[in-house]
Amino acid sequence: MGAIARRRVLKFLAASPLLGYTAAGRLLAEESLDAIQLPNFLIKSPEQALDVFDFHSVAKHTLPPAHYGYLATGTDGNETLAANRRAFKDLYLRSMRMADTSDVSLGTTLLGEPLESPIVLAPVASQGAFHPDAELATARAAKTQGHLLILSNVATKSIEDVIAARGQTVWFQLYPTNKWDTAKMMLERAERAGARVVVLTVDLNSSSNRVLLGQFIRTDDRDCSSCHGTGSVEDFARMNPMYSGSGATFADFDTPDMTWDYLGKIRGVTSMKIVVKGIVTHEDAASAIEAGADAVYVSNHGGRAEASGWGAIESLPEVVAAVDGRVPVMVDSGFRRGTDIFKALALGADSVCIGRAYIWALAAFGQPGVEKVLEMLNAELSMVMGQVGARSIADIGPQYIGVRR
């Protein structure tokens, strides 16, 4: 193939959805018309990782197709999933020179809780699908690396066991159901266990069209009934121990009638602080605060909630403006690098939550993998802060960020 023809092929690939993870390795688009073919290489230990995507490659290679599909899926044509990553490219960093960054600090606070890093482990359900140690491995990694952990109430391990593994309390994420007694039971149990914060997820009140998941499921020829059962109350409780004794099934998760009054109901049964997760507009941010939220959490569920085609970090500025410093603002969906995290902090987020990045590592290597991802992201964030001239999390502001027009 001649040089001109080769460039035309590579130009096509750079613009093609074929560009991504392949059996031969990752193809990365360059600013030029050429692309770099990376060698086919799966890391054999966490120490070999160069970035979080190394763990993705191992997880994809290791997990059963249906389990990987559950982790990878977005909704519809994955428009929002793609937008979460694409949106970072429209933001650039503005570096301030000649600043003393010999002692960069990641320390901060969130709802009165001191944190060693603004990077928080987001709630991810059913971690037993990715590693036998499931949420216990994640909790131990959070303990070792000093990170806040938010536990999904659809976890495969109980909150009591997870808190014991972490050695201190966790935040408790709540998916509401259409049976208030179920929510009340779990809120009371979480508070008894020691949780001081409940994170109410409000972006999945109706189902979502996870086409990619279905495409992976139909390629998986295993008999999954021995693990997942038949969908009975007993099977549901076995897979989701927080629901033990509730009589709940997946059919209970449609909550189309939930309104902002739900926060008042929570206030009536618990003293835990309330974070509202799934906010993507300034209108809902204002409503959340009016309803008594202690923090607002910007999220589109990692592209799994709706096919808006709008990245979470694109929603962040309008939410920050509406909140206007009255409560903390958290954000997740699509964060993979220290530069991503810095951009969110510069736009006004108080903390950044990661999900898939640490689950890839959990699937690949268990607790050591999760520890390595947290170590890498902290190091990357510290490096970026040094590059731009920010000594502390409090120093990071809009002066360090620009938007391409």
Residue 342 has phi, psi (to 5 degrees) of: -60, -40
Nearest alpha-carbon partner for 354 in 184, 185, 120: 120
Token code pair at residue 282: 């300034």
301 is catalytic: yes
With both helix axes pointing from N to C terminus, report the angle between 312-323 and 282-290 in degrees, rounded to the nearest 10.
Answer: 50
Residues in CB range of 105: below 8 A, 6 or more apart: 391, 392, 393
| Maximal C-alpha separation, the chain | 73
Q: Which of 56, 67, 147, 301 is catalytic?
A: 301
Strand segments, DSSP code E, in 131-187 are: 150-151, 171-174
| C-alpha dihedral (295, 299, 304, 309), degrees to nearest 10 | 150
> How far apart, in Å, are the Cα atoms of 333 and each of 53, 121, 173, 304?
15, 12, 16, 10
Q: Which DSSP letter does residue 43 get? A: -
Task: Kindly state the tokens that stand for 351.
Answer: 């903390």
Q: Which residues are catalytic?
A: 301
